[in-house]
Amino acid sequence: MNIIIGKNSSLTRSLSIELKNSIILSANSSNLISKLKKYKNKKINLIINNFYPAYKINTISNKDYENFNKLSLKIIFDIFANLKPKNINKIIYTSSSSVFIIPQNINNFSNDIFNRNLQGSFKIAAEALVSNYCGKNNIKCYIMRVFNTFGDPNCKFSFIEKLIQLKQKNKKVKLINGGNSVRDFIHVRDVAKIYKYFLKNNIKSNYFDIGTGKGYHIKDLVKLLDFKNEKILKINNVHERDHSIANNIRLVKILKNFKFVNVERYIKSKANVKSKNKILYVKDNNFKDFKPSGHIIYGAGFAGNVILKELKKSNEDVLYLIDDNIKLRNTSINGTPIINFTDLIKLKAKINVRRVYVCIPSFEKNKLESLIYRLKQHFFDVRYLPQKKYLISDKLDLNDFKINEINQILKRKQHEQKLIKNINKKNVLVTGGGGSIGSEICRQLCIQNVKKLICLDQSELAIYNLKKKLGSKSIFVLGDMSDENLVRTIIKKYKINLVIHAGAYKHVNILEENIFSAIKNNIFATAILSSISLENRCDFLLISTDKAAEPKSVLGYTKRLAEKYCEYLNTFNNNKSYINIVRFGNVFGSSGSAVNNFLDQINNNQLITVTNKKATRYFMTIIEACFLVLQTTNSKFKNKTFVLNMGKPINIYKLAEYFAKLKSKINPTYKYKIVETGLNTGEKMHEKLFSTNEKILYSDTYLKVIKKKKIHRVLFEKKYNELVSAYTKNDKQKLLRILKRF
């Protein structure tokens, strides 16, 4: 049995034709509830169509409209209160495209002279109410955001019907903003047929845009009906939304071969238009990629409230507060809704979460780590307040710095993370998966939902820690990346499409004394991995360093040769696969970094050491660096070297001083001293991102693509063979000479 709430709508009239013998009840009827109670013990599908007609929303005051909508919400509450959830098969709630018009930072509705923000906000509230009720009671639920309907001449709501009637009666038409607005029009019978299909078939609960996915300019529809100039009144309206097109990708996947009624043919037939002219439709969709963007606060207690106020003071958008306390569900703080963790994960695909703040300082360490692990499986950037026992501590921790604060130190703009096209179709091998860069790449690949992730590292402890972070969905391999048989087995066994080579020895001073290990790990391993990738037509991405540009250290020389080996292989590469290189500088807070060293010295009241007061280094956050690395996998440039835009170099002395002064603010008794130790062997005063013979081929805000001198195969092979020979003979001095000559 189907029960339809909302008697006087064109959709209900169409549904009564498609769904024979449906019970139709008026939402405005005083005896609605008593009528509903008759069906309390029967199995039903419930369709809720009641809403205030859009054509009337500017005819009443904001307050009256608000009261009406509150009453509409109360009716939904009353309906649910008087039905048995176990007897409800499915619920369809008819929402509208008005949910997309609400500004993200709306503070009041005083300028909302057409009540459109109110209409949208109450629709969202009703959607949430229906969705939460269905989720709690395990009822199939379809939130249908219906776009502009046509097909019922008696519908005062329909723009198309109004337009046809104006033409037939030779009346004037109002053309708002030159008619440049784009609208998606769907026949009301098509909507009814879609509802019928959803009721008959086993479809998962979700939100759906109910439209054709095609948008028409209003001016083109007016032109189609051949209105004369004197019959067109041109009006400007700043409240009119420019584009309103359904993102019906999810809907079309379900309906497959569904054919929508063509609005152009309908207009011509109803208005008796004989013109053979065709109007163009717009398919690119502003709503398709529209996602509310902002922060999430985990914990709706005192700490969460404080962080919420601070973020709002800074004009930051907070999307939701997360709390698993049942009493707080469906409530809000300062207009920010409170939902639970399960609801957040369901909403994840519909919102763009910039950062998650965990604000539960009462959590014990194990519980806090467990929560952060869960969150990091879904979100790029998770920050947390220290535990209660550390809140009075004067110790500095990088975790306590918000990403935007770090970017202020680095004088760079935060890059917003998003889903990367096609990466979810790949089987990916990450070498050095347990290191700072490798583990962050692995974490982000999990968020990007790659098909298969294989993490390779030679450190047992690193693999153990990575497995704790990522869980059992990924595959963890303990082994040496320079083991040719192992690499070949992994690539073939797991059908790898992309190798991200993050494994390397990276400590300048240590490698000066360990040239053989540096060559084996940084050069030979790269040669093996890239060659086997090429052989198996597998994309290969080498993570390089700014120390490879104009090198002065063993690290720089080995990474430069690793780059050159990839360029050498590209001279043979006729495949569709690529061998790309991504070069960047220091990442903020990676293991062994200068920043971590400064914080250790400051927290332990030691002398703060810098190599030279004038020394500078490039820095960026590890999250941004790894995201930009992954973004290059979708670039149109193949077999090229990418250099991440690191901004301006940072003075190391001033960076150390910044952290020391910060400690002094927290603890006024703290005194610091910064001493110079002098540059070590292989260290530079200033790093470079490019060599003098490299030219920029392409540049945007976040990365550059460089053009290098073409590799001469014969000369390269000769030098490389000399290197292998010197390595085999344990000739350290000759190795160094050969490396410098490359």
Which residues are catalytic, by number?
547
CB atoms within 10 A of CB 107: 7
The length of the chain, given as a count of residues: 742
Residue type, 655: L
Show the tokens assigned to 319.
């999307």
What end-to-end distance do the CA atoms of the chain give, in Å?
80
The whole-angstrom separation of Cα 570 and Cα 581 is 11
Residue type, 104: Q
Alpha carbon 176 to its chain's center: 35
DSSP state of 689: S
Residue 580: partners with Cβ closer than 8 Å, 6 or more residues away? 539, 540, 541, 542, 566, 632, 635, 637, 638, 639, 640, 641, 642
Strands (E), 117-223: 140-146, 148-150, 173-176, 182-183, 185-187, 206-210, 216-217
Show the tokens assigned to 491.
């690539």
> Which residues on neighbouring strands pair with residue 382, listed in sequence order?
356
Show the tokens assigned to 469.
């972070």
Inter-CA distances, 293 with 351, 416, 613, Å: 6, 10, 41
Contact of 598 with 656, CB cutoff 8 Å: yes
Contact of 619 with 584, CB cutoff 8 Å: no
Q: Which helix (H) or strand (E) holds 426?
A: none
Contact of 219 with 175, CB cutoff 8 Å: yes
Adjacency order of strands within the sheet including 243-244: 216-217, 182-183, 243-244
Residue 554: partners with Cβ closer than 8 Å, 6 or more residues away? 508, 511, 512, 514, 515, 518, 682, 736, 739
